[in-house]
Chain A
Protein backbone atom coordinates (compact mmCIF):
# COMPACT_ATOMS: atom_id res chain seq x y z
CA UNK A 1 0.00 0.00 0.00
CA UNK A 2 1.19 3.51 -0.75
CA UNK A 3 0.78 6.85 0.96
CA UNK A 4 0.31 10.31 -0.51
CA UNK A 5 2.37 13.05 1.13
CA UNK A 6 1.55 16.73 0.87
CA UNK A 7 3.17 19.80 2.43
CA UNK A 8 1.31 20.83 5.56
CA UNK A 9 0.85 24.40 4.43
CA UNK A 10 1.67 26.92 1.71
CA UNK A 11 1.04 30.62 1.47
CA UNK A 12 1.10 33.19 -1.28
CA UNK A 13 -0.20 36.62 -2.11
CA UNK A 14 -3.30 37.43 -4.15
CA UNK A 15 -2.65 37.43 -7.87
CA UNK A 16 0.36 35.14 -7.58
CA UNK A 17 0.73 31.48 -8.51
CA UNK A 18 1.09 28.61 -6.06
CA UNK A 19 1.83 24.92 -6.57
CA UNK A 20 0.91 22.13 -4.15
CA UNK A 21 2.71 18.81 -4.43
CA UNK A 22 1.52 15.28 -3.70
CA UNK A 23 4.18 12.56 -3.58
CA UNK A 24 3.36 8.86 -3.84
CA UNK A 25 5.43 6.68 -1.51
CA UNK A 26 5.60 3.52 -3.61
CA UNK A 27 4.51 2.44 -7.05
CA UNK A 28 4.34 4.82 -9.98
CA UNK A 29 2.31 7.99 -9.78
CA UNK A 30 1.21 7.20 -13.31
CA UNK A 31 -0.29 3.86 -12.29
CA UNK A 32 -3.51 5.41 -11.04
CA UNK A 33 -5.23 8.71 -11.72
CA UNK A 34 -4.81 11.54 -9.22
CA UNK A 35 -7.68 13.75 -8.10
CA UNK A 36 -7.68 17.04 -6.22
CA UNK A 37 -10.29 18.37 -3.81
CA UNK A 38 -10.74 21.82 -2.31
CA UNK A 39 -12.25 22.12 1.16
CA UNK A 40 -13.13 25.56 2.42
CA UNK A 41 -13.57 25.98 6.18
CA UNK A 42 -16.78 24.44 7.42
CA UNK A 43 -17.66 22.95 4.05
CA UNK A 44 -17.50 19.58 2.35
CA UNK A 45 -14.67 18.87 -0.09
CA UNK A 46 -15.26 19.77 -3.73
CA UNK A 47 -13.65 18.19 -6.79
CA UNK A 48 -11.35 20.58 -8.68
CA UNK A 49 -9.26 18.16 -10.77
CA UNK A 50 -9.95 14.61 -11.95
CA UNK A 51 -7.93 12.06 -13.93
CA UNK A 52 -4.62 13.88 -13.30
CA UNK A 53 -5.36 17.09 -15.15
CA UNK A 54 -9.02 17.50 -16.09
CA UNK A 55 -11.26 20.22 -14.68
CA UNK A 56 -14.91 19.54 -13.84
CA UNK A 57 -17.38 21.96 -15.30
CA UNK A 58 -17.54 25.12 -13.24
CA UNK A 59 -13.94 25.00 -12.03
CA UNK A 60 -12.01 28.03 -13.34
CA UNK A 61 -9.03 27.50 -15.61
CA UNK A 62 -6.84 29.11 -12.95
CA UNK A 63 -6.71 25.57 -11.57
CA UNK A 64 -4.42 23.15 -13.37
CA UNK A 65 -2.60 19.95 -12.47
CA UNK A 66 -0.02 17.53 -13.72
CA UNK A 67 1.99 14.47 -12.76
CA UNK A 68 5.77 14.09 -12.82
CA UNK A 69 7.05 10.54 -13.14
CA UNK A 70 10.62 11.51 -12.28
CA UNK A 71 9.64 12.77 -8.84
CA UNK A 72 6.71 10.35 -8.52
CA UNK A 73 4.45 13.21 -7.65
CA UNK A 74 1.41 15.15 -8.74
CA UNK A 75 1.01 18.90 -8.55
CA UNK A 76 -1.91 21.29 -8.33
CA UNK A 77 -1.24 24.82 -9.57
CA UNK A 78 -3.49 27.76 -8.87
CA UNK A 79 -2.73 30.95 -10.77
CA UNK A 80 -4.10 34.43 -10.22
CA UNK A 81 -4.75 33.61 -6.58
CA UNK A 82 -7.89 34.99 -4.99
CA UNK A 83 -8.78 35.17 -1.33
CA UNK A 84 -11.61 32.71 -2.04
CA UNK A 85 -8.98 30.07 -2.94
CA UNK A 86 -7.94 29.93 0.71
CA UNK A 87 -8.79 26.37 1.71
CA UNK A 88 -7.42 22.93 2.42
CA UNK A 89 -6.46 20.94 -0.66
CA UNK A 90 -6.35 17.14 -0.75
CA UNK A 91 -4.92 14.86 -3.41
CA UNK A 92 -6.47 11.41 -3.82
CA UNK A 93 -5.63 8.27 -5.75
CA UNK A 94 -6.45 4.58 -5.75
CA UNK A 95 -5.23 1.31 -4.28
CA UNK A 96 -6.77 -2.06 -4.98
CA UNK A 97 -8.06 -2.75 -1.49
CA UNK A 98 -8.71 0.85 -0.44
CA UNK A 99 -9.95 2.67 -3.51
CA UNK A 100 -10.02 6.22 -2.19
CA UNK A 101 -6.70 7.12 -0.58
CA UNK A 102 -6.20 10.74 0.42
CA UNK A 103 -3.12 12.77 1.10
CA UNK A 104 -2.82 14.53 4.43
CA UNK A 105 -3.96 17.84 3.00
CA UNK A 106 -2.33 21.22 2.42
CA UNK A 107 -3.61 24.42 3.97
CA UNK A 108 -3.40 27.25 1.46
CA UNK A 109 -3.27 30.72 2.93
CA UNK A 110 -3.76 33.68 0.61
CA UNK A 111 -2.40 36.70 2.38
Chain B
Protein backbone atom coordinates (compact mmCIF):
# COMPACT_ATOMS: atom_id res chain seq x y z
CA UNK B 1 0.00 0.00 0.00
CA UNK B 2 1.36 3.38 -1.03
CA UNK B 3 1.22 6.16 1.54
CA UNK B 4 2.54 9.71 1.44
CA UNK B 5 2.58 12.32 4.16
CA UNK B 6 3.54 15.97 3.93
CA UNK B 7 5.18 17.92 6.72
CA UNK B 8 6.48 21.42 7.18
CA UNK B 9 5.57 24.82 8.61
CA UNK B 10 1.94 25.87 8.66
CA UNK B 11 2.74 29.58 8.72
CA UNK B 12 5.43 31.49 6.86
CA UNK B 13 6.05 35.18 6.46
CA UNK B 14 6.14 36.96 3.10
CA UNK B 15 9.56 36.73 1.38
CA UNK B 16 10.52 33.67 3.44
CA UNK B 17 11.45 30.32 1.92
CA UNK B 18 9.11 27.37 2.41
CA UNK B 19 10.48 23.85 2.66
CA UNK B 20 8.07 20.92 2.71
CA UNK B 21 8.91 17.25 3.07
CA UNK B 22 7.00 14.28 1.69
CA UNK B 23 7.66 11.01 3.50
CA UNK B 24 6.47 8.01 1.55
CA UNK B 25 6.22 4.25 1.86
CA UNK B 26 5.06 1.34 -0.25
CA UNK B 27 7.42 1.98 -3.14
CA UNK B 28 11.02 2.85 -3.93
CA UNK B 29 11.78 6.04 -5.82
CA UNK B 30 14.81 4.22 -7.17
CA UNK B 31 12.62 1.74 -9.05
CA UNK B 32 12.02 2.28 -12.76
CA UNK B 33 8.89 4.26 -13.55
CA UNK B 34 8.34 5.76 -10.11
CA UNK B 35 7.86 9.44 -9.49
CA UNK B 36 6.86 11.85 -6.71
CA UNK B 37 5.54 15.33 -7.23
CA UNK B 38 3.84 18.30 -5.61
CA UNK B 39 0.54 20.00 -6.27
CA UNK B 40 -1.06 22.86 -4.37
CA UNK B 41 -4.65 23.92 -4.06
CA UNK B 42 -5.77 27.35 -2.93
CA UNK B 43 -9.08 27.46 -1.06
CA UNK B 44 -11.95 26.89 -3.48
CA UNK B 45 -9.63 26.55 -6.47
CA UNK B 46 -8.49 23.78 -8.77
CA UNK B 47 -5.25 21.93 -8.07
CA UNK B 48 -2.09 23.47 -9.54
CA UNK B 49 0.88 21.31 -10.41
CA UNK B 50 4.25 22.49 -9.04
CA UNK B 51 7.06 19.98 -9.58
CA UNK B 52 7.94 16.33 -10.05
CA UNK B 53 11.01 14.12 -9.65
CA UNK B 54 11.40 10.70 -11.22
CA UNK B 55 13.28 7.54 -10.36
CA UNK B 56 16.11 8.50 -12.72
CA UNK B 57 16.44 11.96 -11.09
CA UNK B 58 14.68 13.66 -13.99
CA UNK B 59 13.01 16.80 -12.60
CA UNK B 60 10.38 19.14 -13.99
CA UNK B 61 8.80 22.28 -12.58
CA UNK B 62 5.84 24.44 -13.45
CA UNK B 63 6.92 27.09 -15.97
CA UNK B 64 5.08 29.83 -14.07
CA UNK B 65 6.91 29.10 -10.83
CA UNK B 66 10.09 27.46 -12.09
CA UNK B 67 12.50 30.09 -10.79
CA UNK B 68 11.14 29.70 -7.26
CA UNK B 69 10.90 25.92 -7.02
CA UNK B 70 13.42 23.24 -6.15
CA UNK B 71 12.57 19.57 -5.78
CA UNK B 72 15.02 17.10 -4.29
CA UNK B 73 14.99 13.57 -2.99
CA UNK B 74 16.63 11.65 -0.18
CA UNK B 75 16.48 8.03 -1.25
CA UNK B 76 18.00 6.83 1.99
CA UNK B 77 15.04 8.26 3.90
CA UNK B 78 12.28 7.74 1.29
CA UNK B 79 11.58 11.46 1.25
CA UNK B 80 11.12 14.18 -1.32
CA UNK B 81 11.43 17.86 -0.46
CA UNK B 82 10.02 20.94 -2.15
CA UNK B 83 11.48 24.38 -1.62
CA UNK B 84 9.58 27.50 -2.62
CA UNK B 85 11.41 30.80 -2.34
CA UNK B 86 10.03 34.30 -1.86
CA UNK B 87 6.67 33.24 -0.47
CA UNK B 88 3.72 35.58 -0.94
CA UNK B 89 0.18 35.60 0.48
CA UNK B 90 -1.08 34.29 -2.88
CA UNK B 91 0.94 31.14 -2.18
CA UNK B 92 -1.40 30.30 0.69
CA UNK B 93 -2.71 26.85 -0.16
CA UNK B 94 -2.87 23.21 0.79
CA UNK B 95 0.23 21.51 -0.56
CA UNK B 96 -0.05 17.85 -1.57
CA UNK B 97 2.60 15.38 -2.62
CA UNK B 98 1.63 12.62 -5.00
CA UNK B 99 2.87 9.36 -6.48
CA UNK B 100 3.27 8.36 -10.12
CA UNK B 101 3.90 4.90 -11.46
CA UNK B 102 1.07 2.53 -10.67
CA UNK B 103 -0.77 3.18 -13.93
CA UNK B 104 1.95 4.96 -15.89
CA UNK B 105 4.54 7.72 -15.72
CA UNK B 106 1.98 10.53 -15.72
CA UNK B 107 -0.92 9.09 -13.73
CA UNK B 108 -1.35 10.53 -10.24
CA UNK B 109 -2.49 7.38 -8.46
CA UNK B 110 -1.97 8.39 -4.83
CA UNK B 111 -2.00 11.63 -2.85
CA UNK B 112 -0.85 12.63 0.58
CA UNK B 113 -3.33 14.12 3.03
CA UNK B 114 -2.04 17.61 2.31
CA UNK B 115 -0.65 20.34 4.53
CA UNK B 116 -2.11 23.83 4.73
CA UNK B 117 0.46 26.59 4.45
CA UNK B 118 -0.57 30.15 5.26
CA UNK B 119 1.56 33.10 4.20
CA UNK B 120 1.04 36.08 6.45
CA UNK B 121 3.06 38.61 8.34
Contacts and interface: CB of A to CB of B under 8 A. Distances in A.
A44 B112 contact: yes
Interface of A: 33, 35, 37, 43-47, 50-51, 54, 56, 90, 92, 94, 97-105
A46 B102 CA distance: 14
B83 interface: no
B106 A99 contact: yes
B116 to A, nearest CB: 11
Given A56-B109, A90-B47, A104-B46, 9 more contacts: A35-B108, A43-B113, A44-B96, A54-B103, A56-B102, A92-B47, A99-B49, A99-B60, A99-B106
Given A35-B107, A50-B107, A56-B103, A44 B49 contact: no
A58 B111 CA distance: 16
Interface string B82-121: 0000000000000010000011101111011110000000
Given A44-B111, A44-B112, A103 B103 contact: no
Report whether over half of chain B's contact residues are helix, strand or loop; otherwise say mixed.
loop
Q: How large is the interface on B (under 10, 10 to 19, 20 to 34, 35 or more residues)?
A: 20 to 34
